[in-house]
Amino acid sequence: MSFPEAESSPRPSAATPPSRLRRPGDTPARDGARAAVTIAYRGILGNSPGMLFLTGYRSSMNGAKALALEAYCRASGRAFTRFDYQGHGETGGDFESCTLSTWIGDALAVVDEITTGPLILAGSSMGAWIMVRVAQLRPERVAGLIGIAAAPDFTETLMWDAFDTPTRMAILGGKPWRSPSPDGDSEIVVSRELIEDGRKHLVLRARLAIGVPVRLLHGSADQSVPAKLSQALLNQLDCPDASLTVIKDGGHRLSRPHELGQIVRAADELCRHTEDSLTRAASPPR
């Protein structure tokens, strides 16, 4: 049984605290009110199209892929934003009370309140699933998608489908399944709420009308999320400009220098494509 693996991240410097976005919470308190939550984020100002990085399950915005894309955007003068979902990284909070809807809501809040203009979304593992949902819910803001070791529908395909009957019955009875993460830095927790909420957001069971270029990258040696999930996502895309690159011997994290280079090249391709499209749209007809 394998699940999306968290990416170990360097601890951020205490001298550079993240910015904070305050948004309404998803879970009502005892009095029925929804307590506000704050989302930790970091970003740089720059030109359009900007980029937004969406992290994986139990990962943080300080991982190697996010930092490599930020360095690319800084060097090329582009806007860039990265953030931590509720229950993750510098945002903190109760991880076990969160679901896919929570994390999609966090991503939408960042898109709506922090970023401007057309965006290239880069999603890693679970972040690629959230990336697709954001593209469906905010199509007017999204100019391109980069899925890195994509794990769409993982709560169903990698979790629920892999459990035996006694484990499923325990989860349905309110006893979450728990296991140390592969790196030992965190715990995988599968609750009934996580599974049932995930079913509201499944994307591999119908055609996906995504009208922007999509680039998927996956390691051939990924032991956490099989490359067939990226292939399944590619197959469901109703998009004329979509491709999947399988990186030989690449693991789930895809954070070795040459792998980061391929991710940055995909970002540069989509950014330049969007720039060209914006220039053509702004040019008067001849």
What is d(CA 69, CA 82) in angstroms, rounded to the nearest whole number?
Answer: 10
Per-residue pLDDT band at 11 (split at 50, 70, 90): low
Average pLDDT estimate for 218-232? 97
d(CA 83, CA 61): 5
- Decide if pLDDT at 263 tops 80: yes
Under the banding of pLDDT at 50, 70 and 90, the label for residue 34 is low
What's the pLDDT tens digit per position in 92-144? 889 999 999 999 999 999 999 999 999 999 999 999 999 999 999 999 999 99
Least confident of 50-59, 89-98, 177-186: 177-186
Whole-number pLDDT of residue 5: 61
Is 194 or 282 the better-scoring residue by pLDDT?
194
6 — pLDDT class (breaks 50, 70, 90): low
pLDDT at 215 over 60: yes
pLDDT tens digits, one per residue of 168-183: 999 999 999 999 876 6
Tens of pLDDT, residue by residue over 198-213, are 999 999 999 999 999 9
Q: Are strands 242-247 and 214-219 parallel, antiparallel or unpaired?
A: parallel
What is the rounded average pLDDT for all residues in the chain? 91
Residues labelled as active-site residues: 125, 222, 252
pTM of the model: 0.92
DSSP string, the chain: ---PPPPP-PPPPTTSPPEEEEEEEEEE-TTS-EEEEEEEEEEE--EEEEEEEE--TT--TTSHHHHHHHHHHHHHTEEEEEE--TTSTTT-S-GGG--HHHHHHHHHHHHHHT--S-EEEEEETHHHHHHHHHHHH-GGGEEEEEEES--TTHIIIIIGGGS-HHHHHHHHTT--EEEE-TTSSSEEEE-HHHHHHHGGG--SSS-B---S-EEEEEETT-SSS-HHHHHHHHHHB--SSEEEEEETT--SS--SHHHHHHHHHHHHHHHHHHHHHHHHHHSPP-
Structural domains of the chain, ranges and CATH numbers in brackets: 19-153+210-279 (3.40.50.1820)
Residue 284, pLDDT score: 72
* pLDDT of 89 over the 70 cut: yes
Tell which wins on pLDDT, 23 or 164.
164
- Average pLDDT (54-82) is 97
| Mean pLDDT within 265-280 | 92
Q: Quick one: pLDDT at residue 2?
A: 61
